[in-house]
């Protein structure tokens, strides 16, 4: 890793009063950060992914936390509270990011990294940590307090308040806290990544993993309906670093996640199918790479894409899974998105979410504005992206080669913030694409200059940047990289605005058992709370599929004529091959892929999918000797029920009687201890299923759940009898 070294004799010039042009009235104060403009766009602060590390080479130093009042006046809050400095960056040097305001508007939580290398070639460990600030009103004194009992020596970023006042944030803390698994590496570039979303009760120190992310979760917040929304990177595909026949990246597999696991020469992968089509296999090569809006309840349950929206609604193209003439490639009509980043809800229109569509590289996660309407009652089949800038502005060639600037280019945008009076502000730069010269490593000259601006409607009804919110905030800093002396004097980026105001506290959302599953519990005389207690104490969840033969009628890329041998079938009009499905095979994400070779392995590991082998789950499920490893049988009514490990990434697919995959689901999903999660099918139905004339989502009482509950009930009775606590009657 690189470090920043600073050479040092520059003075800071802080411009803290707004000029007349910038003093336009806004309804409330705006909290925002300034950021040293890091010119590199790969895995640095502000990048699309892997932006969470506090190393000075990736983040720089010199930024601050500011508040702008409606009259245009500014306060440098971190400087006022005794943090940060100009010139040579040393022990008190800081960078700040991600402010979020409490529900009553009296305080805010944010991330800050403190300290810089004191001399050339000296590396120091630097981690983003959570802090709270009070004293935001004019005339008050800013007081900053480090949040107690958060993960130490780990990067904790993007905090927000949950409805009960606890904190949610993204962290790179290992899923189970094991130091030897740090850091987790993503599925794309094998770059360190956050492990998911965590909840902290600062008063008690209770820390819970709400959502497991294999390649990263970003910008969580609670919307007005009480849902915890975030952007997640979906990249569940085979390891591209493992493609080379000569193993140029030195990939290898550990025998497991345990501290005493052994590094082996094995490089095998079992799931999903290869990235590149294998000639003669009849199976299409598979890749996936997008940043979609996701949601969970505030207790971490019921993880799914926002309203169950999918690629059919938002993406332009993806391939079919098999060489089956009945299957077709998907080509979406109308404007489709690449990614949906930096999501924020419109306070004047609950359920309307603004975001940024930007490529993974070259623009510092800036792109074009769009919005999606997705209140809980909006069917995902009706969800569409509305472009607020011309769509052509984000047309990039497949290899990101330089392209000409469009005539209607209005700049790149970041961090959109809809305000309580209907206005819209965002960080904005006029720069087209990241290309050309950004100066040198020691003397950066960044061409991207993000300034907070008010947005107004312009030609064609699209938003364009209007006035700056500040007169510009400049600083001179110097630091070590750590072997090079870096000096910068100029404007800082203005990013991550939030409105300081009191808001109605949303309800706490939790998982609710639905009627078909409740009917199964009643029929088998099993107490739901007793089962939940068993699940929690064993680190398990219960997953139910009502009818795996039903699929959303829009999905013609996967087999859709499905039958359970001797049981139910669901067939679409027009004929075509009928596929038998007999087993549901589960995979768990194990952090076992190493890089760098057996003799000098890199720190950290990538997650690989392995057949379900978690002992509590396997022991709790009925044996399925005729199925593939990690599978359970599909019942005659198409239903599936399985105990699965909680707080671990899971994926699954249905298979033929001989274990060959049929319907290949390709998302990681995680569950909470005690969660009972039911899906109507695989791909769940949004409006109608694939049958003729079409039917709504399945509502049958799942036979597989009844069988599983009966087995669990009888085992509990046997255990009680064996322990001598009750006589058998």
pLDDT for res 390: 86
In a domain, 570, yes or no: yes
The residue among 499, 529, 563 that closes a domain is 499
In a domain, 123, yes or no: yes
pLDDT per 10-residue tile (average), the chain, 729 residues: 30 35 77 95 93 95 97 97 95 97 98 95 95 97 97 98 98 97 96 98 96 97 98 96 94 97 96 93 92 96 95 89 92 84 98 95 91 96 91 53 76 97 97 72 88 95 96 96 92 98 95 95 97 97 97 92 96 91 98 96 96 96 97 98 98 97 91 96 89 89 98 84 52
Q: Among residues 643, 634, 641, which one has the least CA distance to residue 671?
A: 643
pLDDT for res 684: 87
Measured at the CA of 24, the angle between CA 23 and CA 29, to 5 degrees, comes to: 80
494 lies in the same domain as 621: no
For residue 196, the enclosing domain spans: 4-237+286-309+340-370+379-392+421-499
* Residue written as token pair 């910068």: 488
pLDDT for res 68: 98
532 lies in the same domain as 489: no
In a domain, 508, yes or no: no
Instruction: Read off the tokens for 557.
Output: 């890329």
Phi, psi of 555 (to 5 degrees): -90, 95
487 lies in the same domain as 616: no
In a domain, 260, yes or no: no
98 lies in the same domain as 59: yes
Query: Domain with 47 in it: what CATH number?
Result: 2.120.10.30
On whether the CB atoms of residues 586 and 270 are closer than 8 A, the answer is: no
On whether the CB atoms of residues 379 and 257 are closer than 8 A, the answer is: no
- The residues, any chain, with a CB within 8 Å of residue 52's CB and separated by 6 or more, are 128, 155, 157, 170, 172, 192, 193, 194
pLDDT for res 683: 87
On whether the CB atoms of residues 161 and 109 are closer than 8 A, the answer is: yes
Strands laid side by side in the 463-468 sheet:
412-418, 424-429, 451-457, 463-468
- The residues, any chain, with a CB within 8 Å of residue 414's CB and separated by 6 or more, are 46, 342, 356, 364, 365, 366, 426, 427, 428, 450, 495
476 lies in the same domain as 548: no
Burial class (CB in 10 A: 0-12, 13-18, 19+), 119: exposed
Measured distance CA(687)–CA(678) in Å, rounded: 17
Gyration radius from the chain CA atoms? 26
In a domain, 84, yes or no: yes
581 lies in the same domain as 523: yes
Q: Among residues 94, 40, 300, 50, which one has the least CA distance to residue 183?
A: 50
pLDDT for res 436: 62
90 lies in the same domain as 151: yes
Q: Give me the number of domains the chain comprises.
A: 2
pLDDT for res 438: 79
pLDDT for res 24: 65
The residue among 499, 531, 562 that closes a domain is 499
DSSP 205-240: TEEEEEEE-SS-EEEEEE-TTS-EEEEEEE--S--G
Measured distance CA(429)–CA(408) in Å, rounded: 15
On whether the CB atoms of residues 695 and 547 are closer than 8 A, the answer is: no
The residue among 499, 527, 544 that closes a domain is 499
594 lies in the same domain as 451: no
* Residue written as token pair 């060639």: 397
494 lies in the same domain as 606: no
Q: Residue 311, SS3?
A: helix
Q: Residue 481, SS3?
A: strand
On whether the CB atoms of residues 201 and 209 are closer than 8 A, the answer is: no
In a domain, 110, yes or no: yes
353 lies in the same domain as 227: yes
In a domain, 262, yes or no: no
Query: Count H helices, E strands: the chain?
Result: 7, 44
In a domain, 544, yes or no: yes
561 lies in the same domain as 439: no
DSSP character for 322? B
């Amino acid at each position: 890793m690189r470090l920043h070294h600073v050479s040092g004799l520059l003075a800071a010039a802080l411009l803290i009063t707004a000029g007349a042009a910038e003093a336009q009235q806004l309804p409330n104060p705006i909290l925002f950060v300034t950021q040293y403009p890091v010119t590199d766009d790969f895995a640095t602060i502000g990048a699309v992914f892997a932006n969470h590390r506090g190393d000075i080479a990736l983040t720089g130093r010199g930024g601050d936390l500011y508040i702008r009042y409606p009259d245009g006046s500014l306060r440098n809050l971190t400087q006022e509270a005794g943090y940060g400095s100009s010139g040579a960056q040393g022990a008190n040097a800081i960078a700040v990011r991600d402010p979020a305001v409490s529900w009553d508007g009296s305080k805010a939580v944010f991330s800050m990294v403190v300290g810089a290398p004191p001399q050339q070639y000296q590396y120091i460990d630097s981690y983003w940590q959570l802090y709270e600030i009070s004293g935001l009103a004019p005339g008050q004194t800013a007081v900053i307090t480090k949040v107690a009992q958060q993960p130490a020596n780990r990067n904790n970023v993007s905090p927000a308040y949950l409805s009960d006042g606890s904190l949610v944030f993204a962290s790179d803390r290992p899923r189970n806290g094991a130091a030897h698994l740090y850091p987790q590496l993503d599925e794309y570039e094998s770059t360190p990544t956050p492990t998911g979303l965590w909840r902290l009760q600062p008063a008690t120190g209770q820390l819970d993993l709400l959502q497991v992310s294999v390649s990263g979760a970003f910008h969580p917040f609670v919307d007005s309906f009480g849902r915890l929304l975030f952007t997640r990177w979906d990249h569940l595909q085979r390891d591209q670093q493992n493609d080379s026949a000569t193993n140029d990246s030195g990939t290898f597999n550990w025998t497991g996640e345990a501290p005493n696991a052994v590094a082996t020469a094995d490089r095998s992968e079992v799931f999903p199918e290869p990235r590149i089509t294998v000639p003669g296999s009849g199976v299409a090569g598979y890749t996936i790479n997008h940043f979609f809006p996701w949601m969970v309840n505030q207790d971490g349950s019921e993880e799914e894409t926002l309203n169950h929206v999918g690629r059919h609604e938002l993406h332009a193209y993806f391939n079919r899974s098999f060489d089956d003439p009945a299957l077709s490639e998907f080509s979406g009509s109308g404007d489709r998105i690449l990614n949906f980043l930096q999501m924020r809800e419109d306070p004047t229109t609950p359920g309307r979410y603004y975001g940024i569509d930007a490529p993974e590289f070259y623009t510092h996660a800036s792109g074009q504005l769009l919005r999606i309407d997705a209140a809980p009652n909006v069917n995902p089949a009706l969800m569409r992206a509305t472009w607020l800038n011309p769509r052509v502005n984000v047309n990039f060639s497949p290899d990101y080669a330089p392209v000409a600037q469009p005539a209607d280019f209005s700049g790149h945008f970041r961090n959109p913030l809809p305000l309580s009076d209907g206005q819209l502000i965002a960080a904005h730069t006029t720069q087209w694409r990241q290309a050309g010269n950004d100066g040198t490593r020691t003397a950066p000259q960044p061409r991207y200059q993000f300034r907070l601006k008010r947005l107004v409607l312009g030609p064609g009804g699209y938003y364009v940047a209007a006035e700056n919110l500040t007169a510009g905030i400049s600083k001179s800093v110097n630091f070590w990289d750590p072997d090079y002396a870096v000096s910068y004097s100029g404007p800082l980026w203005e990013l991550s605005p939030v409105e300081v105001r009191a808001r109605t506290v949303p309800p706490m959302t939790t998982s609710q058992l639905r009627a078909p599953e409740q009917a199964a519990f009643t029929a088998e005389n099993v107490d739901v709370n007793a089962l939940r207690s068993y699940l929690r104490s064993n680190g398990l969840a219960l997953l139910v599929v009502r009818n795996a033969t039903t699929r959303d009628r829009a999905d013609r890329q996967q087999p859709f004529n499905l039958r359970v041998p001797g049981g139910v079938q669901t067939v679409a009009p027009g004929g075509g091959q009928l596929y038998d499905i007999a087993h549901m095979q589960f995979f768990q994400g194990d952090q076992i892929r190493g890089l760098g070779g057996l003799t000098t392995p890199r720190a950290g590991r990538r997650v690989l999918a392995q057949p379900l082998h978690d002992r509590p789950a396997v022991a709790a499920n009925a044996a399925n000797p005729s199925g593939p490893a990690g599978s359970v049988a599909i019942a005659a009514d198409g239903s599936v029920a399985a105990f699965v490990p909680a707080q671990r990434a899971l994926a699954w697919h249905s298979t033929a009687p001989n274990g060959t995959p049929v319907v290949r689901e390709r998302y990681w999903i995680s569950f909470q201890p005690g969660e009972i999660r039911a899906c109507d099918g695989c791909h769940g139905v949004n409006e109608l299923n694939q049958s003729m004339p079409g039917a709504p989502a399945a509502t049958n009482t799942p036979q597989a759940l009844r069988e599983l509950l009966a087995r669990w009930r009888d085992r509990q009775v046997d255990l009680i009898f064996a322990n001598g606590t009750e006589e058998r009657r």
